[in-house]
Amino acid sequence: MQCQLSTHDGDHFGLLGDDGMRGTALWLRWHGMSEAELVVLPDCPEVGGEGCCLFADHAEQHTWEDTPEAAPCTS
């Protein structure tokens, strides 16, 4: 699992997929090599660029602000 956030401090988040509820997704959250947990988070409401593929109130940049090499939204 790779963190979906741009360079940052704090928890890491990897998208696992749509949880079946409109406007939310299932994420894996971890910090360093410690335990990980499953969390359901609301989607980021920002619609600039092609829309943000992260969760609401995420740290740092929206996905459309990442470098051109960044992977598109995938689950």
Model-level pTM?
0.76
- Specify which residues 36 forms β-bridges with: 30
CA distance 50 to 13: 20
CA terminus-to-terminus distance, the chain: 11
Each residue of 13-71: pLDDT tens digit?
999 987 677 889 999 999 888 789 999 999 999 877 678 889 999 988 888 876 555 44
Strand order in the sheet with 12-18: 12-18, 24-30, 36-42
